[in-house]
Structure 1
Amino acid sequence: MPAMQALRPRPANVALAIGFAVAGSLAGAFHHPASWRPFDGWAYLLTLVIALALALRDDLPFGVLVVTAAGFAGYLLLGYQPSLNFWVPAVAFISVAAREGRGRIVCGVALLAAVISLSGVCGGLPRPLVVVQALIVPAVAFAVGLTQRRLAARNAELRRLTALLDQQQRQEARRAVLDERFRIARELHDTISQHMTIVTLQTGLAEYVFHSDPPSARKALETAAAAGRESLEELRRLLVVLRTYDLGGASGPEDPADPLPDQVLAGIDRIPALAESLEAAGVRVEVRFAGERRPLHAGVELCAYRVVQEALTNVVKHSGSATAAVSVRYLDDELCVTVLDEGGPHSVTSAAGSGHGLIGMRERAKIWHGSLTAGARPGGGFQVRLRLPLGQDRDGGRPVT
């Protein structure tokens, strides 16, 4: 029963089978050569069996060839005149050549040649013509079947490649989503971490001296409020960037060639203001610039600023140092940024750099073909050094994605 359910003739094959059955019956009914047996009921039955078997030629190609060849041979041996039934075994063999293995194709050639030869002999054709006919018909049918086989193989390969391409596109889409999530997470970490550290320290100080030193508590709360407002402003800028701009390039909503507005992304020029904001947390930061200062790619500027921001935040959170130094050097083909701190008695900063902050800094440097090193200094403290090549800025290079 399952095997019968699997046999689903194609409409084209059904139409072909019905066409041969009707045409063969009409040819036998209206064409009566005197030397042949009259076209009676058995002739109609054999004609229908031979022709209608073609409906299954794609599902059972070799079986259909056997049925059509045997039916046509019996039709001839009973003395009926050759009609359009002559072409049915040849059409059946096309499916054999297109779908079956080499062994069955060889058997099919022999079977088709034999029945074509029998048709020629029964039709009284000269022997040379019988031989030529027995060779040409299988050869033509084999060529047509081989063409169908190659076309089916190419279609199968095309479907495979299409499925592979679709899978790759899905993977690329998932990877793009993950990259965007990492970028957003990195931006949120870099934006919030420093300000929340200041808010936490200052509110803790205010709570500690709330009754003993109200002016200091009031000043600490003012500092915490200012840091909170700055954090909200940074988040607003970040949302504008994520909704409108590409952090990796200089594309804007109107013209892809337009640079990013200065008020949208943080840059190197904001490092001194960042250093001043940390004084409220008890850390004095000295900022030094060297070399010819010049505007850089917006993404490079943001990368340098975020690395300095994260490094200084780690100084406040982990080092315990009261001083830090930031050095920004503009070289001919490189931007070198160094953040130093002298360390403190409660330092937990690790030279291994396994925290999320150091991981994010290294990711930022890698995006712009740069490098970042972080580790303990021989004399104590910690050092973070960022190197960003500037050749990409002059030649319009794109970041690594």
Structure 2
Amino acid sequence: MYGAEITARWHAGIAALRRVTSPPPAQSRWAWAADAILALVLTVGTLNDALSWGDSEAVSSTVDGRPVPVVPFPMPPDRPPVPPRPVAPLGGGQLAHHFAAASFGQLILAVLAAAPLVARRRFPLAAFWVVTGAMLAYHQSPGFDPWFTFTAFVIAAYSAVVYSPYRALAMTSALAGAALVAADHDAAVPALRPGLATFLLLIPFGLAANAIHTWKQRVRSLEAEKEAATRHAVELERSRIAQELHDVVTHNVSMMVVQAGAARKVMSTAPERAEQALLAVESGGRAAMTELRHVMGLLTLNVDDPDQKAPDDLAPPPGLDQVAALTGRVRESGVPVELTVTGSAVPLPAGVDLAAYRVIQEALTNTVKHAAGARVRITVAYAPDELRVEVTDTGGTRTPAARSGSGRGLIGLRERLAVYRGTLEAGELPAGGYRVCALIPLGEQ
């Protein structure tokens, strides 16, 4: 029982450490350049310290901070003292001696103790642990100056806390690294002079204040980005709803207006035809109500609740299987419509099916509004990898409603088809009339 509880807490702690609290900040070219210069300066400093270690190799101890040279054997009392040899400039042979005195491994550790700072913002935790490990290994050999390595360690720890997206893991790493360095403070931490200790004690407070300020800035930036994304999503949803309502209302209301006008003209002379026109108005109104009920039903669904079911009276969205009924209602308004279907009909995704239906619906609406007396031909062609929907008319008399067109319908169709990688072509024909053609790929959507 206790073992399972301990295991569960262990996994929970690991998950907390690996939890991403904020995305890594974007890094500009200037930031990369500044980090590269900083890493280069500290790397040169540590390398210089490693190479200078060869000069102090003959120094075995210090008294009051002053080096005491090692005397390999006592000098005879009757022998005159040997004058000190002048120090010559560093030449090729002496440089080789330096490299021989400081081993290759120590030189590598000197580089690794500072060079990873070039990635202190992009990979802060990795840079921190490489710098910390190299620093501790580097100072296992006595005699090295810890100022450059300790400075690199402090900068790496600060960068891990400020820039790492894993905040809990970064704080834990910084504390663990500080404990390791404190355990080896005699070699890894520089000796403090009076007056310098106070300044160094102020550094952690300054770094902590800057870290808190940076976190607040990042939180505000994330909140602003989230608000902008939410606002953009709301605008897209409003546009989609407006387009759907446009497609539903414009077509059905246009058909009802045409039928009502025809009924008014023949009501006194041909009551039977007036009755048929009014029946068409009623049919168009019922169709409009059915589609509006579908749109409003979708708006009432809670997208955050995956278990919520659609209302029972929510009609399915229209598709190509309802094109025959659509053309029938248009014929009843007095517009000759010819429907041709080629190829083998295949089941279509709901979005593709609805988009193809809306293309035909919008084209018929524009014909009724803009080309009274035109004949319409509709072609639905199924191909193995493509669906083609084409609507052409022969042209006719422009109605007064044609001047009120905004072109929003065709723009909305292009946006709808673009979701499914489809294209829309619309324009006047050379011989007169108008053509609307939509191509929709039937591969993986």
The aligned counterpart of 2:356 is: 304
Structure 2: distance between partners of 1:276 and 1:245: 36
Structure 1 residue 213 displacement after superposition: 2.2
* TM-score, structure 2 normalization: 0.52
The aligned counterpart of 1:333 is: 385
1:142 to 192, 199, 222: 199
Structure of larger gyration radius: 1
Structure 2: distance between partners of 1:179 and 1:255: 23
Cα gap change, 1:348 to 1:277, in 2 (>3 Å)? same
Structure 1 residue 151 displacement after superposition: 2.4
Structure 2: distance between partners of 1:333 and 1:148: 66
Cα gap change, 1:296 to 1:245, in 2 (>3 Å)? farther
1:213 to 244, 247, 270: 270
1:167 to 203, 208, 224: 224
Which one is further off, 162-171 or 341-350? 341-350
Structure 1 residue 150 displacement after superposition: 2.3
Structure 1 residue 318 displacement after superposition: 0.8
CA contact (8 A) 2:376 2:394 kept: yes
CA contact (8 A) 1:244 1:253 kept: no
Q: Does 1:370 align with 2:427?
A: no
Unaligned runs of 5+ in 2: 1-190
Structure 1: distance between partners of 2:200 and 2:383: 72
Cα gap change, 1:151 to 1:172, in 2 (>3 Å)? same
Equivalent position SS for 2:200: helix
Higher relative contact order (CA 8 A, sep 6+): 2
Structure 1 residue 147 displacement after superposition: 2.3
Structure 1 residue 323 displacement after superposition: 1.8
For residues 11-35 of structure 1, give each alpha carbon's deviation from its aligned partner in whole angstroms, at most 9, with x where no partner exists.
Answer: xxxxxxxxxxxxxxxxxxxxxxxxx
CA contact (8 A) 2:375 2:394 kept: yes
1:324 to 337, 357, 376: 376
Structure 1 residue 152 displacement after superposition: 2.0
CA contact (8 A) 2:363 2:436 kept: yes
Q: Does 1:242 align with 2:294?
A: no
Q: How does 1:1-400 map to 2 (within 5 A)?
A: 136-244=193-301, 254=307, 263-346=315-398, 355-393=407-445
Structure 1 residue 185 displacement after superposition: 0.9
CA contact (8 A) 2:337 2:375 kept: yes
Structure 1 residue 176 displacement after superposition: 1.4
CA contact (8 A) 2:262 2:277 kept: yes
For residues 74-110 of structure 1, give each alpha carbon's deviation from its aligned partner in whole angstroms, at most 9, with x where no partner exists.
Answer: xxxxxxxxxxxxxxxxxxxxxxxxxxxxxxxxxxxxx
| 2:206 aligned partner, one-letter code | R
| 1:294 aligned partner, one-letter code | V
For residues 38-74 of structure 1, give each alpha carbon's deviation from its aligned partner in whole angstroms, at most 9, with x where no partner exists.
Answer: xxxxxxxxxxxxxxxxxxxxxxxxxxxxxxxxxxxxx
Cα gap change, 1:252 to 1:211, in 2 (>3 Å)? farther
* TM-score, structure 1 normalization: 0.57
| Identity across matched positions, percent | 37
Structure 2: distance between partners of 1:390 and 1:262: 27
Counting matched residue pairs gives 253
CA contact (8 A) 2:422 2:441 kept: yes
Structure 1 residue 279 displacement after superposition: 0.5
Structure 1: distance between partners of 2:385 and 2:353: 15
Cα gap change, 1:252 to 1:230, in 2 (>3 Å)? farther
Unaligned runs of 5+ in 1: 1-133, 394-401
